[in-house]
Amino acid sequence: MRRLVAETRLSVDDLVAPLFVREGIDEARPISSLPGVVQHNLTSLMVEVQRLVDLGVPAVILFGVPLAKDAVGTGASDPDGIVQVALNQVRERFGDQIVLMADLCLDEYTDHGHCGLVRPDGTVDNDATLDRYAEVGLAQAAAGAHVVAPSGMMDGQVGAIRAGLDSRGFDDVSILAYSAKYASALYGPFREAVDVEIVGGGDRTTYQQDPRNVAESMREIALDIAEGADMIMVKPAITYLDVIAAASAIVDVPLGAYHVSGEYAMIKAAAERGWIDGDRVALEQLTAIKRAGADLILTYFAADAAAWLS
Ligand code: PBG
């Protein structure tokens, strides 16, 4: 009876698995603050994508960890950069069996750790960054991404990337915009996963959302849709269920939510101590995200949840 009348149906079809691929490693490396998640090399990445295909997970999103970082994040758009190489190989091997998304940002590739280009005084230069994002989007599309997902929270990024893609015939490549991405303390384990440290102990408060605001996020979402976003996203998820619900009430494009590294790590840590049943808490949280209105959920539990839900 409960099954028959359930109002929320979480399914494997809702899940997107974030995957990390690191340049120059012989075998996959564990990430200590994300138990069960690894930095892949190209070989282990292929095995993991095959496993996700077999589990029925409909999409993955790739993050790259380059060997060398510089001021402009050259590796993010280099055709031989780790993510482009990985995208090429995954697309060649799996074709359209799984949706291939690429996180589009500079922070994994810059030596200062910011998501954009930085002026001599250390502040992020929004407008100068837009041209770089367009270049990165083109490189990812050329390498085989079905979807590019700008996560840098620069104003105008969606329009700039869309214009870049369309100018080169990549009008079929979709944009999943991280539209309401908060300056959150929950990204800590992710920064270990991609080896990012913001120079001088800085933060992203000048470009990511203030946790105190929700109306501002609705404006960000409306702007991204007006600029051509095909899907939009709220991030983190559990701490921002109200934002997901508010977004779901106003948008008519697919709505994503990112259950982020800190949200995953908290469940794993408490479960390890025997304080909670980690699998049940994870499923409860993913269900809550769906109930709040998300259509797709980026989660490090994707493979586990696919098995639980089958
Ligand atoms: C930026 C980016 C971040 C995450 C996804 N894309 C980190 C940040 O903004 O500092 C965080 C994801 C997570 O914590 O799981 N490229």
pLDDT tens profile 35-53: 999 999 999 999 999 999 9
pLDDT at position 112, please?
95
Q: Mark residue 228 as left, alpha or beta (left: phi above 0; alpha: psi -120 to 50; beta: remaining).
A: left
pLDDT band of 202, cuts 50, 70, 90: confident
φ, ψ of residue 42 in degrees (nearest 5): -65, -35
Question: How far is the centre of ligand 1, averaged over its atoms, from the C-alpha of 258 (Å)?
Answer: 9
Give 226-260 pLDDT, tens digit per residue. Answer: 999 999 999 999 999 999 999 999 999 999 999 99
| Within a domain: 6 | no
Rounded-to-integer distance, Cα 271 and Cα 262, Å? 14
Ligand 1 pocket residue status of 187, Cβ below 6 Å: yes
Number of domains in the chain: 1
45 lines ligand 1 (CB under 6 A): no
Amino acid 195: pLDDT = 85
pLDDT score of 200: 83
| pTM for the predicted model, two decimal places | 0.97
186 within some domain: yes
Ligand 1 mutation pick, 39, 106, 190, max ligand atoms within 8 A of CB:
190
The number of residues making up the chain comes to: 310
Closest Cα to atom 8, ligand 1: which residue?
A: 187
Q: Is-cis flag, bond preceding 66, omega within 30?
A: no
298 forms bridges with which residues in the sheet?
16, 258
Q: Ligand 1, from 101, 104, 105: best to mutate by most atoms within 8 Å of Cβ? A: 105
- Domain membership of residue 253 as a residue range: 12-309
69, 235, 268, 290: the catalytic one is 235
Query: Is residue 7, in this structure, part of any structural domain at all?
Result: no
pLDDT digits (tens, 9 = 90+) for 258-289: 999 999 999 999 999 999 999 999 999 999 99
Q: Report if residue 52 sits inside a domain.
A: yes
- CATH code of the domain containing 56: 3.20.20.70
Query: Could you tell which of 33, 151, 261, 285 is best to mutate to test the pocket of ligand 1, judged by most ligand atoms within 8 Å of the CB?
Result: 151
* Half-sphere exposure (Cβ direction) of 187: Cα atoms closer than 13 Å: 18
Q: Among the atoms of ligand 1, which is closest to the Cα of residue 300?
A: 15
Residue 100's pLDDT is 98
pLDDT of 201 above 90: no
Does some domain include residue 3?
no
Q: Which of 251, 267, 238, 254 is nearest to 295 (CA)?
A: 254
Q: Taking 90 as the threshold, does the pLDDT of residue 28 lie above it?
A: yes
181 among known catalytic residues:
yes
Ligand 1 centroid – CA 280 distance (Å): 25
Q: What is the pLDDT of residue 167?
A: 98
Q: Give percent above pLDDT 90 in the chain.
A: 95
Instruction: State yes or no: is 235 an active-site residue.
Output: yes
Is the minimum distance from the CB of 263 to ligand 1 under 6 angstroms? no
pLDDT digits (tens, 9 = 90+) for 63-103: 999 999 999 999 999 999 999 999 999 999 999 999 999 99
Ligand 1 centroid to residue 3 C-alpha, Å: 35
CB 196 within 8 Å of CB 141: no
Q: Of all protein residues, whose CA lies closest to atom 10 belonging to ligand 1?
A: 187
pLDDT tens across 108-157, in order?
A: 999 999 999 999 999 999 999 999 999 999 999 999 999 999 999 999 99
Q: How far is the CA of 6 from the centre of ligand 1 (A)?
A: 33
Tell the residue number behind the tokens 């699998």, with chain if given: 279
